[in-house]
Amino acid sequence: MNEITAGELFAKNDALENEAASLLGHMIFEFSRLDMNLGLCLVWVDSGARVESLTKTVETQNLKIKLDELTKHVIAKLRLGSKQRSAYENWIERVNSVRQQRNNLVHGRWGVEAHKNKVINVIGLPTSSAQQVIEYTLDELAEVNEELRDLQRELGRLREHWPL
């Protein structure tokens, strides 16, 4: 069996870290686009009748509050059990999931395990019993970005077919 040298391990570690950093950077771009598009969805409720006042309100909200606002509009405007309401509710649930994952990714500490070909995200203080260690492959990080792009496309379809 071929043993990897310290220099090769260092180079592999560096390459893995660079690729992970690139994927995480793209995730931040994708997430900010999703956040902005959700904000536009909210300010254009009722065909933009209150676009100016809603812009002032929505631009100060984080994604969680925006999702809560969207949920209120969905409940108020779409019939329970309808295809439209189910589609919006499913989208909101998916965004909430990726939002929580994004928070862990952004607020955690990062490292790489080159010999395992894994990127490590550590959430919480080392002194905490609640500290979590989550391992990702590069493909799994890329899947987060694809989910963010999917969510943006889906929001566009929802707004086009069933504006609120």
Give the tens place of pLDDT for each residue, 31-74: 999 999 999 999 999 999 999 999 999 999 999 999 999 999 99
Percent of the chain beyond pLDDT 70?
Answer: 99
Its pTM stands at 0.89
Cβ atoms of residues 163 and 47 within 8 Å: yes
- Each residue's pLDDT tens digit, 88-118: 999 999 999 999 999 989 999 999 998 899 9
Q: Write 63-72 long-range contacts (CB < 8 A, 24+).
A: 63/34, 63/35, 63/38, 63/95, 63/99, 64/96, 64/99, 66/35, 66/38, 66/39, 66/42, 67/38, 67/92, 67/95, 67/96, 67/99, 69/42, 70/38, 70/41, 70/42, 70/164
